[in-house]
Amino acid sequence: MFAIKSVLTISRREITRLRTRFTGRSSVVVLGILVICLVISYIIYHEAFVLSKGLYTVGVSPSGPVIADERFNVLTADPETGRTMLQNKTIDIYIDRDEAICTGDQRSQSAAGALKQYLEKQEVQRIASEYNTSQAFPLRVEINHLEGPASSPDMETHVSLSDILGLSETSTTTPPTPEPSGIPGDDLPTPSPQPGTSSTDAAVRQQLDDFESGNMLPKFKAEFVSDKEIIIPSLMNPPIPLAQVIMAFLYVVPILFVSVFFTSSFMEERTGRKLIILLSAPVTPLQIILGKILPYIGYSLIVIIAITLLLKGNVLLALAIFIPVMLFIMSIYLMVALTYRTFRDQTFFSVLAVGVITAYLVGPAMFTGVNDLSYISPLTLAVQMYRGESFGLTQYLLSTAPMYLIFLLALFVGRRIFNEEYLTRFRPLYAKFAEAVYLVINRNHLYISVFFLTLLLIPVVFMVQLSSIVIAFSLPFPFALGAMLMMSVIVEETAKSAGIAVLLNNNIGKSLKSILALSFVSALGFLLGEKLLLYLALFVITESMFTTAIFSTGLLVVPLIMHFICTSMVCLMTARFGTKWYPAAIIAGSVIHALYNLYIIGVIL
Amino acid sequence: MSGFLTLLKRELKSVTKEKTIMVAIIIQFFVASFSSVLLIGIMSFYDPESIGHSTQVRVDVGVVGNTDSPLLGFLKGKNLRVVSFYDVDDAEEAFRSGRVDTVVFIPESNNGVVDIKLVLPELDAMQTVILMLLQEPLERYENYLREINGVELRYKDLGGGPHTTYEFLYSLIIPILMLFPAFIAGSIVVDAIAEEFENKTFDTLQSAPVSVNGVFASKVLAAVIISALQCIMWAVLLRLNSLFIQNVGFVLLLSVIVAAFISIGAAIIALYFKDRERAQFTYSIVLVAAAGLSYFVDPSPFSLITRLATGDYYTSGYEVALYAIPLLIVGILCFTMSKKLLSTKS
């Protein structure tokens, strides 16, 4: 009871502090700017945002088409001048009647591509207005689903193909009769003088409206995609869930702002030594952290609920999806606030954190429905929610469990390192990290600590590896692959040996026996964490190839030996030559690890 | 003057010492690579042409119903194989056993309208690939049906290369790389000024042989120099990757002007609030608002960089020079207001 009370007291204090920050004139200024921001984004949203304004210059003959696209500057010129202009590069493309002339350079080629896309769209709109729907859009494709070979065989009771095709009553041995449509008795294939109607006309008109409004941005309603979707080939858009991803990201932006306030406040009190004063009061570090974070969690919850109501989504579902996201963001900012001393450091690491968080959340969500790996981001769940699709508990766990875990981990680490010396002493970054690791390890239970340290570092390793893939991607291909492999191996080796190296640096566990034992425990923790993550992923990703690869016994014992060898090597080298050589030891361990990986992939031997 | 130079050196040193600049570069590198990964990922997943080119995917299409339909001719292509079935049950059996990936039911034309039924497996990933591969043949069949219906479609056979990557690179990535250092510069200025207030070192500085404006100018200049260096680095790196920026001098000049403008604005904000927490927050939302407002200017800094970098014939240094005017205004504003802002309580 007392514990909760002190948490609440600290929270109340935090709220007052924040309120007194923005009073009087400054609150007016800030509110004014916020209102301006909202107005601007509203206007831009309704103006149909164009990024490449005036990028190309196109010459059009007097008889050519009208081009009303902000990407193009349009000049009228007769064919002869047009060709000269094209040669002088004063225009990128020249269009005369149905023919477009461009040069071979990249700019001209992409201008041609962009123009083609634009004119094709114009044509579809023209025929839509000039002809009736059946003439202009004569082909409609109804999408149906049936369990394929990948599904389990005990689904025999389900619908058959002839059910779907509406042929169950007719004989299936003869070529099927024309598909019955809208008006009974209207199934004669000869064109009638009256325009024909079809049951799919409504779907065509609906899609035509969407197409003409050109609005691929969010419709602020949960879009429901029914099972029987009708596709019109020329109106078909790639199923990029951009609109829904933007909707999902709308939640993340305010949460990021709220957490920046949290870090700032934490930092201010740290530099102002107010946190140290708090520590001398009868409260525990955990109570202080929880008390200070609670108001910001509250604000975020309000934001989540408000946005969901605004977008007419399901509040409970949105809370279930975005609470872990919020906790994840908060825990990253808690770590930023606890680790850095100077404002500039903090500013930059906040920006970096924003970048990484955005990448981790948005990237996978763009592939919702295309690749099941997209479930590593909870935004994928939000995208599905706003598409009116459902997802299962395993998907929910895969995307959110790491986030809950990271929050708990951050709280635990925060509690351990929350002492006067750590918070006030200025030291280089790596020393700060080492000190944090040292404080986290319980010296009475060395082995268990190291085991759990490595195990709990798995989500961090996972995220760093994902980011390194992104960074390596911009290198030329063979380098990219090598760099990616090396980076991920270095991250793994560092994660496994960090705890032990810190112990060695503090003169703990220096005997050969204990180094080997610690390395084994660490390797075991890493392997367990790694497999646990994969196991969770397997629930979602049904490809059987993975299953056999992971659970074949050889691949459980061999990696353990490999992890053990690499880690013990790194640690023994560190013990022998001193922590100064720790980076070199990691490189050495990583080389062996990388060679093993190459062998497994089948590149060498 | 020498006092000013000493101050400038001090500022530059404090930024480099904290390795801030390294982090700044990592951030930009991350942003740039992330966006290209996303773009290429999306392109290869959602663009039917690159699915065809970049993957060895082959889709077996089972056809039932009107197997004389011209659609069958359109369907035969590099990544597609057509299998005709006379019996629906055979088709179902082939689908369930995985011999065909999808089943198309083609009815006879009804008043020129064809209502095809497409049966897809329930696995999400495969569905998208099949639909993407089928889009082009279906469009060609659609145009064929339109012709029969007497609908004339123009501009069917325009040539032209891929344009998304080009547009993305020049109208998003390059402007971001050239302007991001400016955003960071503003943030550095806010921190540098707020730091002086919070450490109460302003009084010491005021006794130095430099004016108050000299102190601010040194901070702004240091931030601008750092942002200019980053822009130059990006220009060089892009060139190494054989992505060329035309009018490189003007592009760099513009990014320096923008960096100076933002830094001076940031200095005014920091002087007004005098503490980091509020100043940084206000700076970031003002930046968002200003970026939004610039959208309505033609050419906006963003699109001006795009046009310069693509070597647009109609854009030159004149537009860049125009941007010096707002910079001058905000500079004079800061110069005349600094003393007053410094003495007011906030």
| CB–CB contacts below 8 A, A to B | 383
Partnered with residue A94 across adjacent β-strands are A59, A101
Residue A176's nearest CA partner among B82, B109, B93, B107 is B107
From A145, A234, A347, residue closest to B122, measured CB to CB = A145
Residue A544 is encoded by which pair of tokens? 């059987």
Mean of pLDDT over chain B: 81
B71: helix, strand or coil: helix
Q: Residue A340: left if φ>0, alpha if ψ -120 to 50, beta else—which one?
A: beta
DSSP string, A472-524: HTTS-HHHHHHHHHHHHHHHHHHHHHHHHHHHHHTT-S-SHHHHHHHHHHHHH
Indicate the SS3 state at residue A180: coil
Question: Which residues of chain A does B92 touch, with a Cβ-Cβ cutoff of 8 Å?
Answer: 146, 160-162
B210 vs B65: which has the higher pLDDT: B65
Nearest CA in chain A to B163: A110
Higher pLDDT, B310 or A48: B310
CB-closest option in B107, B288, B312 to A179? B107
The amino acid sitting at A59 is G
Any bridge partners for residue B116, and if so which? A141
* Nearest CB to A149 within list B97, B148, B346: B97
A388 with A312: CB under 8 angstroms?
A: no
Q: Which residues of B touch A479 (CB under 8 A)?
A: none
Q: Are strands A56-60 and A93-96 parallel, antiparallel or unpaired?
A: parallel
Residue of A nearest to B112 (CA): A138
CA distances from B9 to A273, A468, B222 (A): 30, 35, 8
Burial of residue A282 (CB within 10 Å: 0-12, 13-18, 19+) is exposed
> Listing from the earlier edge strand, what are the strands of the sheet with A93-96?
A72-76, A56-60, A93-96, A99-102
pLDDT per position as a tens digit, B50-88? 555 555 667 888 888 888 888 888 888 767 888 888 888
> Integer distance in angstroms from the first to the last C-alpha of chain A?
64
Q: Where are the domains of chain A?
A: 56-130, 136-144+202-208+217-237, 241-426, 441-605
The whole-angstrom distance between A369's CA and the closest CA on chain B is 5
* Contact present, A382 and A321 (Cβ < 8 Å): yes
pLDDT band at B13 (very low <50, low <70, confident <90, very high): confident
DSSP A233: G
Pick among B114, B163, B312 to test the A interface (most A CBs inside 10 A): B163
| Beta carbons of A26 and B38 less than 8 Å apart | no
**CA angle (A296 as vertex; A295, A302 as ends), nearest 5:** 90
* Residue A119 pLDDT: 87
Mean pLDDT by 10 residues, chain A (605 residues): 79 82 74 81 71 84 84 87 86 85 85 86 85 83 73 51 62 40 40 50 71 48 49 73 78 86 81 76 83 90 89 87 92 84 73 80 78 79 81 82 86 84 74 82 84 83 73 66 80 86 81 85 87 69 46 60 86 82 88 82 62
pLDDT tens, position by position, B126-151: 777 788 788 888 888 888 888 888 88
Six-digit token string for B314:
């109609």
Q: Kindly list the residues from chain B whose CB atom is less than 8 angstroms away from the CB atom of residue A33.
A: 282, 285-286, 289
| Chain B residue with minimum CA distance to A262 | B277
Interface test with B, best of A110, A269, A389, A484 (most B CBs within 10 A): A110
Where does B48-148 sit in CATH, by number?
3.40.190
Nearest CA in chain A to B68: A175
Lowest pLDDT segment from A462-466, A484-488, B265-269, B302-306: A462-466
If DSSP states are collapsed to H, E and C, what string results for A404-458?
Answer: HHHHHHHHHHHHHHCCHHHHHCCCCHHHHHHHHHHHHCCCCCHHHHHHHHHHHHH
Tell me which residue in A148, A239, A366 faces B95 most closely, judged by beta carbons: A148
Please report which helix (H) or strand (E) contains residue A231, including its range: strand A229-231
What is the residue extent of each domain of chain B? 2-41+163-343, 48-148
DSSP labels, A102-137: E-SSHHHHHHHHHHHHHHHHHHHHHHHHHS-HHHH-
- The reported pTM is 0.76
Closest-CA distance of chain B to residue A391, Å: 13
| pLDDT at residue A190, rounded to an integer | 40
* Residue A261, φ and ψ in degrees, nearest 5: -60, -40
- Least CB–CB distance from A164: residue in B66, B67, B119: B119
Does residue B255 register a pLDDT over 90? yes
**Torsion sign across C-alpha atoms B246, B252, B258, B261:** negative
**Structure-block tokens of residue B210:** 């430099």
Contacts of residue A285, Cβ cutoff 8 Å, sequence gap at least 6: A279, A414, A415, A418, A419
Partner-chain contact A343 B138, CB within 8 Å: no
Query: DSSP assignment of A284-323, as one string?
Result: -HHHHHHHHHHHHHHHHHHHHHHHHHHTT--HHHHHHHHH
Q: Which residues contact A121 (CB under 8 A, 6 or more apart)?
A: A211
Cβ-based neighbours of A28, under 8 Å, separated by 6 or more: none
Alpha helices in B149-211 (DSSP H): 164-168, 174-198, 202-206
ipTM of the complex: 0.80
Q: What is the C-alpha to C-alpha distance for residues A219 and B337, in angstroms, rounded to an integer?
A: 46
Contacts of A61 (CB under 8 A, 6+ apart): A76, A77, A78, A79, A82, A94, A95, A96, A97
The answer to whether the CB atoms of B128 and A239 lie below 8 A apart is yes
HSE of B134 in the Cβ direction (CA atoms, 13 Å)?
A: 29
- pLDDT for the residue numbered A240: 67
Select from A116, A151, A355 the Cβ nearest to the Cβ of B31: A355
Q: Could you give the CA distance from residue A35 to residue B6 in angstroms, rounded to a whole number?
A: 42
The verdict on whether omega for the bond into residue A193 sits within 30 degrees of 0, i.e. cis, is no
Q: What's the rounded Cα separation, in Å, for the pair A353 and A359? A: 10
Question: A18, A261 in Cβ contact below 8 A?
Answer: yes
